[in-house]
Amino acid sequence: MAVEERDCSVEIDFEKLFNEQSRKLSDMVERLYRNSPFYREKLNKAGVRPEDIRRVEDLEQVPFTTKSELREGYPFGLMAVPDEQVVRIHSSSGTTGKPIIVPYTKNDVSVWAEMMARCMEMAGVTPRDRVQVTPGYGLWTAGIGFQAGVERLGAMAIPTGPGNTEKQLEMMADIGTTVLIGTSSYGLLLAEEIHKRGIRDKIKLRIGIFGSERWSDKMRARIEEDLNIDTFDIYGLTEIYGPGIGIDCPMHRGIHFWSDHLIFEIIDPETGKQVPPGTQGELVITTLTKEGMPLLRYRTHDVTTLRREMCPCGSPFPMIDRVLGRTDDMIKVKGVNIYPGQIDHVLRMTPGACSEYQILLTRENAKDRILIKVEAEDGCSLEQVSGECKKNIKTKIGIIADVEAVPRGTLPRSEKKTRRVFDNRDC
Ligand code: ZN
């Protein structure tokens, strides 16, 4: 894709950006105070009056909104419009306890479709494309969100939903799918299947848009290589519309987000204090135009960095880094804090190691044992790959782990998200 490279030493004019966001922010806070009993009480308790929040910088006075508050509000505790304005609900998966219900107004649905269409456009999707949407439809936000974006852009949606790989591949070949949407795990599964069957020449794919889980550069390279496509990392969460609030561009320098609808702040997850652009921390999001369930300073638990510089692609929208992990993904082994993203990093630097791995934790004789199973490339010595991995884990992460290399394709593949950490230490 030909993209003109621009000067990337130019920094984002954050003052100008905050000025633009501030007007929308003060309108929203006033609206929330009037219409949302939840936020009225929350702001009163914190001693914050709506007129105190005039500018983005004032946000620091506002307490965070947490996922557990959203759960406690089940089902409509955070709804900020009368019933007759709600046209749809979505819900989070709710693996533990009650799910979170998110009400959308007509305008929310439209803004979401617009943001999603922008994402697709940024990835180079055009009205001539045929877009296979493999995420699930239903209460879950993904399928329907992508579908609406494809239609808004004017491309052709192929709403297969998840599963049935046989049928997916048949549709892909017969209809001439050019854009694949899914989790990165499913992208990998399909890529390997197409490669194994030697049917790449029957497939017209040129773009992959993947999201909903963290994926390593190694996994990305594998998908791109097997399918000969360009891939894009799309960002979002059910509590804030769903997928489509940000995506990386053809320069792949970070994830652009739609700052006319959302404020992204980065905080230190320990102290809760804002950190300046360029510093890693936890992403906190405030919605600017959402009506059904607007959120003030929602803690995402996603770890990333707000970038200082303008993207060379020329987009006026600011960027965060690709999400490195979640603050609650952290595992503590032998007194050391580890993020699964660190294992990705080790695998990237280990010759012969593939992207796929599992972390198995057990306790033996009151001691933690960590075993990492990792796939090795075809033709590589398993012994050598496991030895290299073990050495790199020790130098990069600082712990002694057992490593078992297994042949490529041994570990399970997923049509949804891949589970990589198995903590059996309580058993
Ligand atoms: Zn860009």
Indicate the pLDDT class of residue 330, thresholds 50, 70 and 90.
confident
pTM for this prediction: 0.88
Measured CA to CA, the distance from residue 396 to residue 342 in angstroms comes to 8
If you measure from the C-alpha of residue 317 to the centroid of ligand 1, how many angstroms do you get, rounded to a whole number? 8
For domain 1-326, which CATH number applies: 3.20.20.140, 1.10.10.10, 3.30.450.20, 3.40.50.12780? Answer: 3.40.50.12780
Calculate mean pLDDT across residues 23-39.
Answer: 96
Task: Please give the pLDDT value at position 329.
Answer: 79
Task: Please give the pLDDT value at position 3.
Answer: 46
Task: Please give the pLDDT value at position 366.
Answer: 84
If you measure from the C-alpha of residue 303 to the centroid of ligand 1, how many angstroms do you get, rounded to a whole number? 20
**Among 327, 368, 374, 373, CA closest to 354:** 374
Task: Please give the pLDDT value at position 1.
Answer: 42
Q: pLDDT tens digit string along 266-303? A: 999 889 999 999 998 999 999 999 999 999 999 999 99
If you measure from the C-alpha of residue 26 to the centroid of ligand 1, how many angstroms do you get, rounded to a whole number? 29
- Map out the domains of the chain as residue ranges: 1-326, 330-423
Calculate mean pLDDT across residues 315-319.
Answer: 95
Indicate the pLDDT class of residue 85, thresholds 50, 70 and 90.
very high
Return mean pLDDT, the chain. 92
If you measure from the C-alpha of residue 308 to the centroid of ligand 1, how many angstroms do you get, rounded to a whole number? 13
Length of the chain: 427
pLDDT over 90 (residue 31)? yes
If you measure from the C-alpha of residue 254 to the centroid of ligand 1, how many angstroms do you get, rounded to a whole number? 7
Assign domain 330-423 to a CATH class: alpha beta
Indicate the pLDDT class of residue 414, thresholds 50, 70 and 90.
confident
If you measure from the C-alpha of residue 60 to the centroid of ligand 1, how many angstroms do you get, rounded to a whole number? 29
Task: Please give the pLDDT value at position 7.
Answer: 53
3-state SS assignment for residue 360: strand
Task: Please give the pLDDT value at position 334.
Answer: 82
If you measure from the C-alpha of residue 212 to the centroid of ligand 1, how many angstroms do you get, rounded to a whole number? 20
Comparison of pLDDT for 49 and 426, the residue scoring more = 49
If you measure from the C-alpha of residue 364 to the centroid of ligand 1, how many angstroms do you get, rounded to a whole number? 49
If you measure from the C-alpha of residue 313 to the centroid of ligand 1, how many angstroms do you get, rounded to a whole number? 4
pLDDT over 90 (residue 216)? no
**Among 23, 13, 14, CA closest to 288:** 23
Contact criterion met (CB below 8 Å) for 72 and 334: no
3-state SS assignment for residue 12: coil
pLDDT over 50 (residue 2)? no
Indicate the pLDDT class of residue 10, thresholds 50, 70 and 90.
confident
Task: Please give the pLDDT value at position 335.
Answer: 81
Tokens of 112: 């979401």
Task: Please give the pLDDT value at position 406.
Answer: 96
pLDDT over 60 (residue 237)? yes
Indicate the pLDDT class of residue 375, thresholds 50, 70 and 90.
very high
Q: DSSP letters along 40-94, please?
A: HHHHHHHT--GGG--SGGGGGGSPPB-HHHHHHTTTTTT--S-GGGEEEEEE---
